[in-house]
Structure 1
């Protein structure tokens, strides 16, 4: 089986897409309405599916009002997601390292196995935590 390593941008797109889809599943109307205000050019269907691009993600990450629309545990997951994107994934974009991509794949595969059939927001939070810890360990070396 051939290993597929995703570029950091694709990882960001996937993580943010899953986060938005989880918000929709949780029926967080305030957050969804804020997403519609931020991305007026996107249809409701595209927003519900989390179809964003790189500039859209940067715009969303800078929007303080979006964070205020999140419930407590969603806010924790969002903070972790932002930390991973701003830390580990931005570093990966600069380095474009296959080693980091492989490590990301190993972490996500392990977490997917542990959380199969469980709540997606728990998986997302643990993924963000694991990536941040790996990044901190690398900085110490």
Structure 2
């Protein structure tokens, strides 16, 4: 439980958010000193060689945006109607998967339900996803990310670790993040989830067989049995 009065509590939160949105490498300076004495063995992979997870950062940005929405706002109510099978707890926590984010981004009604600051943050988020976290990296990607961070700050979003990646380590990302994304693994997760619901959560060879046959049916490469011509 919080022991601080509400006024002091919110002033501390505002100060914490201000420091993280205005000071870069705040995590790096603090965590480097703390983790240096806890390392027993040398890491196998250098920190500079680790790829930034584009899909996870996209999910993290969406999470912080939705959590900053007022739960009694028309936009939040629209999300609950737009995803009827998604629990309200997941919507409040901003937990979405890749295909769900694509659906809500394609919606023309959702931006009209946002206020001025929320709409600016939403449009800047879409610009970053299309112009930086996808297969193409626009030449003005730094400007796109900077505008999104400024709009997130005005909206009151938290500076999570994934948001911090864009704030302080923007130059460490690859040019074509789509080639290094986990989109294929996310698609496998969604496909298997459908089969899990069909088989009521039972993992067996029949479920995997149906999943493999579904992949074969979706493939454009068809195997045809050739008959041998016998001449007498």
Q: What's the TM-score bracket when you normalise by the shorter of the two chains?
A: 0.5 to 0.7
- What is the deviation of 1:87? 1.0
**Aligned residue for 1:63?**
107
Distance, in Å, in 2 between the alignment partners of 1:122 and 1:10 is 15
| TM-score normalised over the length of structure 2 | 0.40
| TM-score normalised over the length of structure 1 | 0.63
Is 1:120 the counterpart of 2:157 in the alignment? yes
Higher helix share: 1
Distance, in Å, in 1 between the alignment partners of 2:157 and 2:107 is 23
Distance, in Å, in 2 between the alignment partners of 1:30 and 1:119 is 18
Matching of residues 15-26 of structure 1 within 5 Å: 15-23=61-69, 26=70
Question: Given the alignment, which residue of 46, 51, 58 partners 1:12?
Answer: 58
- What is the deviation of 1:119? 3.2
User: What are the Cα deviations for residues 42-84 of structure 1, in whole angstroms up to 9, with x where unaligned?
Assistant: 0111000011000000001001111111001100000000000
Is 1:49 the counterpart of 2:93 in the alignment? yes
CA contact (8 A) 1:77 1:121 kept: no
Matching of residues 86-97 of structure 1 within 5 Å: 86-91=130-135
Unaligned runs of 5+ in 1: 95-103
CA contact (8 A) 1:8 1:89 kept: yes
Distance, in Å, in 2 between the alignment partners of 1:122 and 1:13 is 14
Structure 1 runs (4+) greater than 6 angstroms displaced:
121-124
Distance 1:20 1:47, change over 3 A: same
Higher relative contact order (CA 8 A, sep 6+): 1
Distance 1:83 1:28, change over 3 A: farther
Distance, in Å, in 1 between the alignment partners of 2:158 and 2:110 is 17
